[in-house]
Structure 1
């Protein structure tokens, strides 16, 4: 199960970002053994006891109120997405039910295939690609088979990005930002589905196999990943700037459909159309 320490890890990562002067405190002359604010400093500013805040970071306050979380978030200077993530983590510490295996509805698969001029994928809560159209396959992973099997053999975009050193590393102009977004995706999924043992196993696998993943995971990046614009360096058609819009399917436990689009009249739109034309020419 997702460890109860997840809330504490997130709080410590955000506490480490702050200096005393950021919250109106004098830094003093004593050397500080830890980066950022001390627990007692944050507790005082948030209006809770040091003991209570310590238990919160240790995962021993499962019934923490929303008011206390909001007060802590205010001191930490969290943005809207981080505040929502903080509340989900607090709820997740009380939830441990198992989740059902992911299965893609036939209607969602049909929707993905209905996109003929732009890449589209159906993605699961673990980062598994559940379905893709021909253009998405040619854009994101042409070295993978197009037909996607059921179960563990499905392509997973987080595993591809971190553990494959070939196509994926060259595809993203800013690979490190893509890696941060991947981790934010997993962070969000784990806060919503703490009982998903497959998610836990995926994080453990990546932690063991990738030093880059370990380093970035410790920073706990947070993002809804709902709309992301990035540059793709495709080996066939060149650099394209595409915006990926993630459309959640509310009744499928964390699944969504991502559609990639380029600005009308832009060189990126022309190159994306050229990639589609090349696919159409194949037997």
Structure 2
């Protein structure tokens, strides 16, 4: 049970709600935003004293029934409710270290995908594997140190991000940064003692005020990107379908970029496929 994170998460969810959101009168002007603690406790069918202790990080582990009541009171989404259970220690934690070894069958699949750029990402946004078209569309990750293949580091200012090609010119950079923060918050809840995860978050907090601002929002909702536009120095703008498939056994994601057959974007991908990783030379 991560008492401090649980308390901070509960406060952030309570403060975003208005009384009218949960069927309560707004009443006189309030000094602080959101619901009052006593209102939340009543809605969750628990004592105000116990709820206050939860937010202060002083309460014992709540039961599943108590967490369900709090989730309903705070109008949590499914993703937020799952995160609440993880913080409370009522959901099973995965291994202490997140996995970075990619299944051989997935590696083979990457190479067999026709006209599709594909990468495998770890739970901490490290690019673990990629095919030739992904190298042409994004960059040749083989030229980078493993530490520098991390898309979270590229998303926020730091030594890896090149000012001439931030995030490969993607159109949804702001949304992607928000997605990174949300996913990392869920990841550190699953791997609270993994130094690679905690060290990455500490590094980003120190390097980027924007990361800190997003981190303190405690958002954990899912934010899937269905399409993405890259601005490539050779083929110009190319809009692709973005599909992220969860590899549950290793807590990794297979991310695929493709375009409808016969479309100009598909033709641009085909050109990049011919050029191969040499297309990345134009970024330098």
User: Under TM normalisation by the shorter chain, which class is it?
Assistant: 0.7 to 0.9
Query: Deviation per CA, 1:188-224, whole angstroms, max 9, x where unpaired?
Result: 2222222212111111110111011011111223244
What whole-Å deviation, never above 9, does each CA across 1:8-47 have from its counterpart, x for those lacking one?
2222222121112222222222441x22112122111111
Matches within 5 A, 1:1-283: 4-32=3-31, 34-61=32-59, 63-91=61-89, 98-99=96-97, 102-140=100-138, 142=139, 145-147=141-143, 153-163=147-157, 164=161, 165-169=163-167, 171-224=169-222, 228-252=226-250, 254-279=251-276
CA distance in 2, matches of 1:30, 1:188: 35
Cα distance in 1 for partners of 2:205, 2:122 equals 20
1:94 CA displacement? 8.7
Supply the distance in 2 between the matched residues of 1:218 and 1:280 (Cα, whole angstroms).
Answer: 38
Distance in 2 (CA, whole Å) between partners of 1:148 and 1:104 is: 18
- Measure, in 2, the Cα distance between the counterparts of 1:210 and 1:269: 36
1:70-121 CA deviation, whole Å, 9 max, x = no partner?
Answer: 2222222222222222222222799697326633344433332333421111
In structure 2, relative to structure 1, the CA distance for the partners of 1:31 and 1:61 (3 Å cut) is closer
Question: Shift of the alpha carbon at 1:149?
Answer: 5.0
Q: What count of residue pairs does the alignment treat as equivalent?
A: 275
1:127 Cα deviation from its structure 2 partner? 1.0
Mapped contact 1:172–1:178 kept (Cα < 8 A): no
Structure 1 stretches of 5 or more lacking a match?
A: none
List alignment gaps of at least 5 residues for structure 2.
Answer: 280-284
The Cα shift of 1:235 comes to 3.0
- The answer to which of 41-50 and 259-268 deviates more is 259-268
Give, in whole Å, the separation in 2 of the partners of 1:189 and 1:68.
Answer: 24
Do the aligned partners of residues 247 and 50 (structure 1) sit closer, same or farther apart at CA in structure 2, a change above 3 Å counting? same
1:157 Cα offset (Å): 0.4
Q: Secondary structure at the match of 2:240?
A: strand
Instruction: Answer yes or no: is the 8 Å Cα contact 1:62–1:93 preserved in 2.
Output: no
Contact 2:2/2:89, CA 8 A, preserved across alignment: no
Question: Which SS does the other structure have where 2:34 is aligned?
Answer: coil
TM norm structure 1: 0.84
CA–CA separation in structure 2 for the residues paired with 1:44 and 1:238: 57
